[in-house]
Structure 1
Amino acid sequence: MLAGNPRVEEPVSRTAAHRLTVAICLVAVLLTGLVPATGSGAVAAAGDITLVINGRVAPSDVPPILVDGRVLVPIRIISQNLGAEVEWIQATSAVVVRSGGATVVVRVGLTQATVNGQTVFLDVPARVESGRTMVPIRFISQALGAAVDWRQATREVIVNLAREEPAIEGLSWEETPGVARFVIVTNGPVRYDVSTRAAEPLYPNDRLLVEVDKSVLNIPDVIHVGKAGVEKIRSYVMESAPLTRVIFDCDEAPRYTAWATWDPSPPLGLGDLPAVFEPGQQAIVVEIQYKVLGVEYVDEPGAERVVVRMNGPADYRVWEASDPWRVVVDARRATLGQSLEGLSNAQRTRPIGELGFTQARFAQFNVDPDVARVVLDAASGPAPYHVSREGNDLVIYLGGTVAVTGFGYETLDRGGRFSVWAGRSLRPTVTRSSNPERLTLHFPGVLLAGPLGGGGTVTYDDQVVASVTYAQDTQAQATTFTLSLKGPVSVEATTTDDGVVVDLGRSPVSGKLIVIDPGHGGNDPGAIAANGTREANLTLQIGLKLADLLRAAGADVRLTRTTAAENPDKYARPQMANDAGADALVSIHLNANYRSTICGSECYYYQAQSRPLAETILSHLLDELGRPDGGVRWADFVVTREARMPACLVEALYMSNPTDLAVITAPGTPDRIAGAVFEGLEDYFASH
């Protein structure tokens, strides 16, 4: 982070709410009754008593009971409605309730309890009724800082938890098989409503709206997503109504379910969600189902296949039906996209006519629960096939397994060429990995012939490839080749009549002079995280790793500093790049903000010629780190303003945000950041 850097001021309505600290004072009122006593130890039903917590009726499968005039309720009502955490200690028959800074311990059958370690006495002990642990509602509520009142006329127990102004503290998401799960973090339970709106002239996108009671927004106005058909998420506080809106702009009308962690029976707990929660925080969860965007038959010799295009990783099941025999692939919790919904049966059929199959057809087989189905009809009885998931797509390969008869590698002037032979065309899935650098070729439906079947490793040790390891998985009917590389390379796979050829080229950064500026240093530590982590140490670590990657790819690299003790003047840093005649300058930083909820990756530029570099690097950071998109921004920083070549300043993550900090301090993250910046530089120089 650059001290004193210009920042766009947030609207007043987004200023973080001041957190209220509720002092816990157990006074004599704790021990006064809610209703007249019924006699020592007497238990009476309280079915006509209504429990209202924070303005909402709190239902319970086991009704409140009266014991000596005190109302006891199931402990789960406390956890669900007051945002508290509840733990049952079997060995001591104790209930531990935690909320904010308060910890209350109540033991079944005893009139002694503790609040933050201090012993207090209860009029009636906790007890077990109908399998539920029942606790005195007045004692527990007031110990957690809530106000409790008894309304005789309506026979209502009113509990109101003193809490800060409602706020949306964060937003995160993850793709899981079947649904993309979006988590809106709040500072406690809040009334909410989820609905959809169709596209209209002023709003060209279909929208999913999450409306909550007016809340402070501590998340960016716009967050770009690009997952599960969600383009971006916008949020704002309404002026005309006491509401705050979080709007999902979607490619088309979404199918979704929504729930909150304070609901009576939430499907997941806080620990199962892709977010970091502080004490007292809760979440609204929106699960958006994936859609089938298209079905096509690809008649590629050696890799004939039916491809089911989807906008997320499907939860799928493959099975075979009989009379007549056919292959069925069900994408569960999935629906057909709008472009497929109105098609006739004939339009939803794809002719095949080879390898034992006549056609592929698809339809929306079921609704609630949703199942999108693809059926492959056979010509006459069972035919060989196999199914794999490639990215978001489901791919059904036709025909029996292919046998690899050989492979080889040859050194070329500016790289190398790896070939696999099988007597027919091959179409592998190609993935790149780093630390160490390697290239993996995965061949579904392919096995190794003869002596190759045992697998092994062949050493080449030229300027590009160190070795090739090959192995097969007979159960999955697949073969994998892993190339250990000397450094990053460009990759181009070409299908041939008898297999596949993979050309490994020298990196686009080869021969380029690139200056890396690890931010801060010396007596300037930069941002300091809550756990003591210093920005200057991390930027140097990232910069040194980035330099290694660039040099391995053939680039000429200069660093503005190479030790922790150095701290070059802010004008000296771009001057070094100018004097060297650099092709690019990248300044490495980590961000911080007084609002701990601000998070994500950003990239800054000054000259117009530098924007493409900033955009490309940020794109790779977002893909690698998976954190929110803070955007490409213009700023008047000396390091980018004074540079006479394309230059950008990278703010990889926020050290002030707990989730970002957890990512930053995870093993390997500095190397991942360096790798993402390296790939961004490669992509930039490939087109500039």
Structure 2
Amino acid sequence: MMKKFVSAVMLLSLLISMFPSIVGAAVAPKLYLNGTLLQSAAEPRIVGSSTLVPIRTVTEGLGFDVAWEKPHVTISNGETNMVLTIGNKNAVVNDRVVPLDAPAIITSGSTMVPLRFVSEQFGVSVYWDKTTRSVYLNKPIPDAPPAETPDSGNGGESPAISSASLNSIEYNGLGSIYLSFEGDFKDLKTEVLHNPERVVIDLPYMKFNAESFTPGFTDANSAAKLGEIMIDSHPTLKKIRYSYYSDKPDTVRVVLDLLAPTNVQTAKEDQSIRIDVLEQTGPAPVVPPPQPKVYKVVLDAGHGGKDPGALAVNGRREKEYNLAITLKVKALLDNEPRIKAYLTRSDDTFVELDDRVAFANNLGADLFLSFHANKATSATVSGAETYYYRGDSIAFANVIHKHLIAGTGFRDRGVRQADFRVIKYTTMPAVLLEAGYLSNSGDTATLFSAAKQSKIAAEIVAGIKAYLKLS
């Protein structure tokens, strides 16, 4: 079992090395396995509310089997079989379809997968501490079997040790924590950990009393369930966390989260354990203030190269307008400190639709905009439309469309739903803008006017900032 634990440590250490930079954050979260900080030159990557890590590093470190048949990757440990598909928000676990908060992606040559989902499917619990920006992974570590004792008339068998029952965890408001229990258990184990500061107290041969605690805490499948008590009356103690930690033997874990190094003493009394949180012994760590998020926005100039798009009444091509307006929006966004703009094409080249989708998804973009112009059989048709596909794009489409109409001055032809590939298969809020009709002379003159393009670009940027609540 200890070999498996060492493998788990190696696996998760490798996992960490796969973490790309966090979107818009200067300080990456730290990753701990059973209280040990895992070091890596690379940083974890957070996409939305999910932490992504490189799959092969994680799985190989834990000794799992990995098989690739693009775009599918299969992970197995002999008991659990998981199939992930790049860009797909569903996984298949033991022939059962399970939804993901974030899909697997490929970036910088690494396949990145959601840490919590993969860990918990393979028996590793995950706890996110928002205050310290830390991810705690817990894999039960069975104690070594008790040493055999000489034969004392019982056939050479070691006496069985029954588990104690933890009845309550109470803080008295003055720095002392009382753990009331029934029965007998082995001596508690205490470990002081740093970065962040905390004290870990393990109580071997103890379980939670099912009548006092939520049922989920009282069985071996509850390692992922954590309880906590927030503290606001102590100089350094900010939180008490507790969980059912292991069933080999039954072990309850109590963690004291501290603001600074602090003297902590424990005493075993009659059916009670007293934990005294005493004086501060060192300075509080300096935590840099969180940096504001920088949003990734992908700008997609429709068509290009061998695909010219619609022919305008003035003889010019749609791809020209699409690129011109995209570059103007990019230039304006480059002046926005909270927005980083990316282009699917920056010149007259052709990019496959699926490659545009993959670019945005692999980047972990926050928004996607595709720029186009329309055409009709009648020269009298005029106006601008904004298209979306998924429900999570409606709000973005409504905001951008309002600004598109303001920028063009065209007839409002509304926000519409359509299954254009680039807005259907991207995984972030995505819209496709049909700015006007190239079959209409008035729309065409506006769209190919440099001054009008600048006005449209300014409105698009204003729409992006309004949606992101940056204006």
Is this a same-fold pair by TM over 0.5? no
The structure with the greater share of residues assigned to helix is 2
Q: Which has the larger radius of gyration?
A: 1
Higher-RCO chain (CA-CA 8 Å, sequence separation at least 6): 2
TM-score band, normalised by shorter chain: 0.3 to 0.5
Q: TM-score normalized by structure 1?
A: 0.25
Q: TM-score normalized by structure 2?
A: 0.37
The structure with the greater share of residues assigned to strand is 1
